[in-house]
Amino acid sequence: MNNEIYVGSDHAGYAFKVSLLEQLKKHFPNFIWADLGCHSEESCDYPEFAAKVADAVVKQSARGILICGSGIGVAIAANKVPGIRAATIWDAKSASLSKEHNNTNIIAMGARLITLDTALAAVTSWLNTEFAGGRHQKRIDLITSLEKKYGAS
């Protein structure tokens, strides 16, 4: 895993994303933070930006953060891309468990549901958590086999 983090949002998550990125760049200057859009509060379609982030994460063996109103739509869209394990998180505990047990490469957040402080704590927890492997690797392998069998749909 490299030190690139791709970030994306829809219009509902735009202002939250801008504020969160500002904080993340201060707290984690050793990471390369790439904002893949959207770039305004003008109405847009979240699957477009979820796909951009997911594609970059897979191609670059990187990580990603997605933000929309609830965090749910962007996670669903991102999970359509083979190789993505995206989880909607709500706090530091859900973020760390998503990494420890599911080896997530994208976390999704709801700008209408959590505070900026909670988001910063969640990202920090996620970045500082290692995948536990062991019995969890077997489950990741099963997910990967489902992806191969059915596609990422």
DSSP letter at 130? P
pLDDT of residue 105 exceeding 60? yes
pLDDT of residue 9: 98
- pTM value surpassing 0.75: yes
Single-letter residue type at 19: S
- Annotation marks residue 101 as catalytic: yes
pLDDT of residue 131: 97
Task: Give the structural domain span for 25.
Answer: 4-150
What angle separates helix 92-102 from helix 135-150, to the nearest 10 degrees?
A: 80
Our count of domains for the chain comes to 1
Contact 34, 9 (CB under 8 A): no
Q: How far apart are CA 53 and CA 128, in angstroms?
A: 21
Task: Give tens-digit pLDDT for 11-69.
Answer: 999 999 999 999 999 999 999 999 999 999 999 999 999 999 999 999 999 999 999 99
pLDDT of residue 151 exceeding 90? no
What CATH code is carried by the domain that includes residue 57?
Answer: 3.40.1400.10
Contact 85, 79 (CB under 8 A): yes
Q: Average pLDDT in the 99-118 region?
A: 98
- Does residue 40 sit in helix, strand or coil? coil
- Annotation marks residue 68 as catalytic: yes
Say which of 11, 27, 44, 101 is annotated catalytic: 101
Single-letter residue type at 107: I
Cα-to-chain-centroid distance, residue 149: 24
Contact 41, 15 (CB under 8 A): yes
Say which of 11, 38, 44, 68 is annotated catalytic: 68
Contact 62, 5 (CB under 8 A): yes
- Residue owning tokens 């990580």: 63
Q: How far apart are CA 20 and CA 62, in angstroms?
A: 19
Q: pLDDT grade, residue 153 (50/70/90)? A: low
Q: pLDDT grade, residue 152 (50/70/90)? A: low
